Structure 1
Amino acid sequence: MSRKICVVSATRAEYGLLKPLLTAIHYDVDLILQLVVTGTHLSPEFGYTLKEIQKDPYPIAKKIEILLSSDSAVGVSKSMGLAQISFAEAFDDLRPDLVLVLGDRYELLPIVLAANIAHIPVAHLSGGELTEGVMDELFRHAITKLAHLHFAAIEDYRQRIIQMGEHPSRVFTVGEAGLDNIREMTLMNKAEIEESLQCPLKSKNLIITYHPDSHDNLEAIKQSFRTILAALDTLEDTLLIFTKANSDIGGRLINELIDEYVSLNPRKSLGFTSLGQRRYLSLLQYVDAVVGNSSSGIVETPSFKLPSINIGPRQQGRIRANSTIDVECETQALTTALSTIYNEAFLATIKQTQNPYDQGGSSLKIKEIIKQFDLSNLEMKRFYDLPKH
């Protein structure tokens, strides 16, 4: 009997990372893909990215609305409650053999709770990582303890999962699945990108993606992003391509500031709720750097031998290549970093950059494990103690 794999996607970034794995599952005759779409995918405010998913060949098993029109702490908590109720009903209907999730988003915590209560084992991608500057750090580790199979990007992260009491036989080092996109996707050329953006690229071009640090209050988030905008505004003959923030607390505030800046500076800036995975990866071929605090600046840009400027503490703790410049959200530090990405000596050093997250063929490795692994005894977990020295 075919094994039913329920894959949940709640955000544009996560879906892009999952696509190679979705393809591997969908085209395996021994597996049945149950794709459940939720979160910002169903929100017009965040680009209604469901319409992009519908262009892909994967059948959508469920569309589950959980996002309230609020990014306050109360609104986020209510969304989490709605997610647990809705996914309890969905799992009762779909009855998957395995639920698969990726990352550390708050929406995933109630989803994997519902799966556990329904006695459905959970596979988790990207556990063991650290993002010490954001609340998602807590959610990631909580999801690890609620999961039964673990797919870590690098060996250091696998060891951390084992340190958390997960048995080594259930924890696999597979690389970052989303990087398979770079090999498998037909990327757009410069002319196609300019037509898609409806704007010619300039002599210098930057992608900016900045998410709120959840430890900050709204005023601090606003001040930080205004500091970044002011530093970027000093650049000459540079196209600033903004991709908007996610639905975290303070995300809407950042998006309002992006809209305001782009409306005042239409000749040198563009704003997108979502570029989509293909257009985003295609752009990485032609921009000078990625600026902000998205994980993409650490995980994906090194594969393009491209600099990234990582601002603030959000990604603190992640292992990174030497192409990443870490800076505080402070005017002089930002100005120096924006100068460094055009420094010939610095650019020469990153031509030899090796992406620590890229192991190749990650999606096929994951697919084969979830296809072959004996799921019958996965539910019963014992805490694995590290050997005593």
Structure 2
Amino acid sequence: MKTIHLICAARPNFMKIAPLYHALKNEPWCVPEIVHTGQHYDYQMSQSFFDDFGLPSANHYLGGGSGTHAEQTAQTMIAYEKLCLEKSRPDLVVVVGDVNATLACSIAAKKIHLPVAHLEAGLRSFDRTMPEEINRVVTDSISDCFWTTSEDADENLKKEGINPEHIYLVGNIMIDTYCMMKEKIEKSDAYKTFGLKKKEYIILTLHRPVNVDVKETLESILNTVEQIDLPIIFPVHPRTRKNLDVIHPLPQNITLCEPLGYVDFMSLVSNSSSVISDSGGIQEETTYLGIPCFTMRNTTERPITVTMGSNQLVSVDNLLEKIKHPQTGSIPPLWDGKAAGRIKQVLKSAL
């Protein structure tokens, strides 16, 4: 029986490990263990996702908490190394996405000679001012196995000198999560709790420092969004809340709410007319659903959502013009809800 650590830290990670955990939990050749580093620790950002996805409590909780990038990374490295040396030494460490825990646990694992597999490897924005880009590049430089969502990610890894024999195009596991939860999502009708009509409202999410950490920037975005003639639902990320609290008055067409669980949030997204966001994952989910997405960023590490999907990169200056010309696009290859099964076969052969 091979022990596999599934590292999760923040809500995007919980979405990605859930299908893989369920694919592996009954296999006779492995024991998947969930390692929660603690980056997101309040109920709506953490435990609600475990509840939604039918995940058990984490096997190991590192208690990383908040702090600067360096503090989070250092605390997680120390705690994870201690776990591996003293309590649970895995046969494989699976890190996902691009959060600080992804970097921290991959470094800690490699320093004590543990193999690392990176789920969502090869994504690149080519913007080194993004902390997530540093996490992606460094993690890929030391990983042993690379599971990718699209061919452009494969090409990025090959250009960086990664052996093609270690790269596996498995598809997008975020779509596995949606397919796994689709029945519950369709039953939710969360938009009705806000008094909204299907396809007659917009979802807004903002959390990246470049958009929310400077009051004037956030205010400019909100002033622009105020000019859109539709109701807007804005689930507020904790890091965004502090600056919103000093902006008065807020636009009349915006309704604020607390962060939502996965089922209710995806119900809102799937019934919306469009989404305005600076998130990474939402670009993929809206592409799969054919819902126009307007990403408030200059770059994206998921360019296939622009070239094939429903995503457009926008700024405050051109949002109002772009939103007049939405695109629905098409679904990229292997975004079919079967990525976890492909990963399972790779793992079975390797382990």
> What's 2:59 paired with?
61
Residues 266, 7 of structure 1: alpha-carbon distance in 2 compared, 3 angstrom cutoff: farther
CA contact (8 A) 2:38 2:61 kept: no
* Runs of 4+ residues deviating >6 angstroms: none
Residues 123, 284 of structure 1: alpha-carbon distance in 2 compared, 3 angstrom cutoff: same
Residues 313, 324 of structure 1: alpha-carbon distance in 2 compared, 3 angstrom cutoff: same
Aligned: 1:40 with 2:35: no
CA contact (8 A) 2:11 2:46 kept: yes
CA contact (8 A) 1:4 1:96 kept: yes
Residues 293, 356 of structure 1: alpha-carbon distance in 2 compared, 3 angstrom cutoff: farther
| Rounded Cα–Cα distance in structure 1 between residues aligned with 2:46 and 2:91 | 27
CA contact (8 A) 2:119 2:147 kept: yes
CA contact (8 A) 2:123 2:301 kept: no
Within 5 Å, which residues of 2 pair with 1:79-228? 79-92=72-85, 93-133=87-127, 134-185=130-181, 186-189=183-186, 192-194=189-191, 198-202=193-197, 204-213=200-209, 218-219=213-214, 222-228=215-221
Residues 295, 165 of structure 1: alpha-carbon distance in 2 compared, 3 angstrom cutoff: same
Residues 24, 262 of structure 1: alpha-carbon distance in 2 compared, 3 angstrom cutoff: farther
Aligned amino acid, residue 119 of structure 1? H
> What's 1:231 paired with?
224
Report the alpha carbon displacement of residue 42 of structure 1 after superposing the two structures with TM: 1.9
Aligned amino acid, residue 294 of structure 1? S
| Rounded Cα–Cα distance in structure 2 between residues aligned with 1:54 and 1:191 | 15
| Rounded Cα–Cα distance in structure 2 between residues aligned with 1:27 and 1:241 | 40
> What's 1:385 paired with?
none
Residues 316, 144 of structure 1: alpha-carbon distance in 2 compared, 3 angstrom cutoff: closer
Aligned amino acid, residue 66 of structure 1? G
Deviations 1:55-105 (A, max 9, x none): 62435211111123x4xxxx2212211111111111121111101011111
> What's 2:9 paired with?
10
Q: What secondary structure sits across from 1:188 in the alignment? A: helix
Identity rate of aligned residues, in percent?
21
CA contact (8 A) 1:41 1:50 kept: no
CA contact (8 A) 2:203 2:272 kept: yes
Deviations 1:21-40 (A, max 9, x none): 11101132322111011233
Residues 175, 53 of structure 1: alpha-carbon distance in 2 compared, 3 angstrom cutoff: same
| Rounded Cα–Cα distance in structure 1 between residues aligned with 2:28 and 2:248 | 48
| Rounded Cα–Cα distance in structure 2 between residues aligned with 1:213 and 1:255 | 12
Which of 262, 280, 295 is equivalent to 1:310?
295
Report the alpha carbon displacement of residue 11 of structure 1 after superposing the two structures with TM: 0.5
Which of 332, 341, 344 is equivalent to 1:364?
341
> What's 1:27 paired with?
26
Deviations 1:319-357 (A, max 9, x none): 223422222232xx122123334xxxx5xxx2x623356
| Rounded Cα–Cα distance in structure 2 between residues aligned with 1:262 and 1:5 | 49
Aligned amino acid, residue 32 of structure 1? V
User: Which piece of structure 1 moves more, 120-129 or 357-366?
Assistant: 357-366
CA contact (8 A) 2:40 2:65 kept: no
Q: What secondary structure sits across from 1:335 in the alignment? A: helix
CA contact (8 A) 2:48 2:261 kept: no
Aligned: 1:269 with 2:255: yes
> What's 1:383 paired with?
none
Which of 235, 251, 265 is equivalent to 1:243?
235
Residues 199, 261 of structure 1: alpha-carbon distance in 2 compared, 3 angstrom cutoff: farther
| Rounded Cα–Cα distance in structure 2 between residues aligned with 1:188 and 1:54 | 14
Report the alpha carbon displacement of residue 153 of structure 1 after superposing the two structures with TM: 0.8
CA contact (8 A) 2:226 2:253 kept: no
Report the alpha carbon displacement of residue 167 of structure 1 after superposing the two structures with TM: 1.6
Report the alpha carbon displacement of residue 266 of structure 1 after superposing the two structures with TM: 8.0
The count of corresponding residues between Structure 1 and Structure 2 is 343
Aligned: 1:329 with 2:316: yes
CA contact (8 A) 1:299 1:357 kept: no
Q: TM-score, normalised by structure 2?
A: 0.88
| Rounded Cα–Cα distance in structure 2 between residues aligned with 1:3 and 1:172 | 21
| Rounded Cα–Cα distance in structure 2 between residues aligned with 1:144 and 1:137 | 11
